[in-house]
Homo-oligomer: A and B are copies of this chain.
């Protein structure tokens, strides 16, 4: 079955000398009998491998050089504790400079409120005697400590650090993750473990999408009906928000709040219908899509409300930036309101975009008064927009580049939408500043970085980890590492290791699949389902969206189907594809790989125990056609191997029939899709 060869392949890959990425100063060299395996994620800018290793065992000692403040102390304590938990080695403080195994040398604490220009660089030098971490700031030290943790190697002789010399600094200054807690709420503990994971892959901005049509999620003491009537009781108190901001700062992460206006504001209007452009009353939106409710840009009271509310939020969120959304206003309520139309005519505002530009122009001095800079989605980019507004692009690089040419700083999010259920490799290929961009250096400097986006139509607290991780680690690497770090095979090799490291923070992105399968199957013995579920993943966003519309799915619907158990981009896609392409390079020359493929194909036969589990559960029963299709794919695979290895041609029409089967298998069933169809298609096309 799939898992058996996956494991052996992975271990052998890990045992091999590390594949150096393009930018590294030197190939890793074997250090005596101990081989250093580079599983760093993201990859550093510069890495040189030396000779020997530094053991990590009880008595390993640490000291601070130069300054250290409370934040750095706490970060170091946390990270040393992680080393202890991993290795069992009890770490102590060094009694003298000479006796320290690890010296942490930090020049200064860093900015009181972390900003765009926080220095996150560090150097890490490890010899068989000592490790020396140097950083300009606390934040740089945190980045270096994560690298140190990722360098720890284990074999039967114990735990050790390879002798290396690393100089590292991020390529982009803004490396963010957005979570939409409007459509589905996420409790504080989910947010906090996500921040832990972000810090592990050196991300530095948590973009908190705090309001949308479906929910208003942050307590306002000035306007208590915002959550009182617009949240179903699911919101963050101000104390919790402060806790999250502090938790993030402790990990070198900024928190940028988003209040999406003037559209996407139904939840505001439930309690405050006077904000709206239509009479109301309003109720919390339960469906997904683009809706009509939009703030009235013609009333002074709207701006008075926003002034007070945003002022209150400005005190809660110390970051220099505030995100005002600005996306997907369909303009319907503006068009239908004669007063607004008259206002537009009077002010020479032609169309929705012009009215919204007016609205944004009114917002700007409000934000400025509260010492905030504005960010908005693509739509905010209208003529006359001041140049210090940052544009976050969901439309794509062209839109971002156009902004940069006009003088606007920007962030890329197109290509980083986690809810689209794309593979990590697809996100990895998206570069906020591709080599072939025709931007001048000055324009290029305006590309601040990017943000992965976790929109939450189809995600809840139970499933969010597997929707964000480990794929976001690939995006984090794209934003941190040199542009030339592009090997997808190497990324996937390291991603499986990174995924295990993330699990150690208590993330459930791996364990949730089996936990959900146990609930669906009603038994702890779900092994027979593994060959099938290993090669299934959720359908893309549009397919799920269409299905959901036709099935009356709302924000209140549970996430209790097979699709919610399945992680996107499971290891099977890349590993099976890799195996298949190796085989197809020379079908005669790889008997071991042929055997592994044959074993996998046999495991796809419809095991009666698997069929029994599927049939016994109302939700799993919808996936029964997938089990039959997989059996057909397995039979097809065995036939193809037999034709290719024997050199005999297939019977007439075989290939056409099999390609038709593959087309059929490509169609969504139970909101799932196969991960192996491209590879199977390549196999069938090889048969003549």
Residues on A facing B (Cβ under 8 Å): 3-4, 6-8, 10-11, 14, 81, 84-88, 90, 154-159, 189, 462, 496-497, 499-500, 503-504, 506, 508, 510-512, 514-515, 518-519, 522-525, 527-528, 556-561, 571, 609, 612, 615-619, 621
Contact = CB atoms under 8 A, between A and B. Distances in A.
B560 A525 contact: no
Contacts of A571: 524
A510 B527 contact: no
B561 A88 contact: yes
Contacts of A557: 88, 90
A524 B510 contact: yes
A245 to B, nearest CB: 18
Nearest to A11: B523
Given A88-B560, A88-B561, A556-B90, A523 B500 contact: yes
Given A85-B560, A616-B154, A524 B511 contact: no
B86 A560 contact: yes
A500 B528 contact: no
A559 to B, nearest CB: 8
Contact of A618 (B8, B85, B159, B560): B159
Contacts of A617: 154, 156
B84 A155 contact: no
Greatest chain B CB density within 10 A among A85, A87, A157 is at A85
Given A511-B514, A524-B500, A527-B7, A519 B86 contact: yes
Which are the 4 A-B pairs with shortest beta-carbon distances? Answer: A7-B525, A511-B511, A85-B558, A84-B558
B154 A527 contact: no
Nearest to A503: B515
Contact of A510 (B497, B503, B515): B515
Nearest to A15: B616
18 contacts: A3-B527, A7-B528, A10-B523, A11-B523, A11-B612, A14-B522, A81-B558, A86-B519, A87-B560, A88-B557, A90-B556, A154-B616, A155-B616, A156-B617, A496-B523, A496-B524, A500-B518, A508-B511
Nearest to A557: B90
B511 A515 contact: yes
Greatest chain B CB density within 10 A among A10, A514, A618 is at A618
Contacts of A523: 7, 10-11, 496, 500
Given A528-B7, A618-B158, A500 B522 contact: yes
B10 A525 contact: yes
A476 B22 CA distance: 60
Contact of A503 (B6, B519, B525): B519
Given A157-B618, A500-B522, 5 more contacts: A3-B527, A4-B609, A6-B525, A7-B524, A7-B609
Contacts of A508: 511
Nearest to A621: B156
A616 B156 contact: yes
A618 B11 CA distance: 16
Contacts of A556: 84, 90
Contacts of A558: 81, 84-85, 88
A671 to B, nearest CB: 13
A370 to B, nearest CB: 29
Contacts of A522: 14, 154, 497, 500
Nearest to A91: B556
A356 to B, nearest CB: 37
Contacts of A499: 524
A508 B193 CA distance: 16
A503 B527 contact: no
Contacts of A87: 560, 618
Contacts of A524: 7, 10, 496, 499-500, 510, 571
Nearest to A6: B525
A239 B508 CA distance: 28
Nearest to A528: B7
A86 B6 CA distance: 33
Contacts of A155: 616, 618
A681 B515 CA distance: 35
B561 A609 contact: no
Contacts of A511: 508, 511-512, 514-515
Nearest to A514: B511
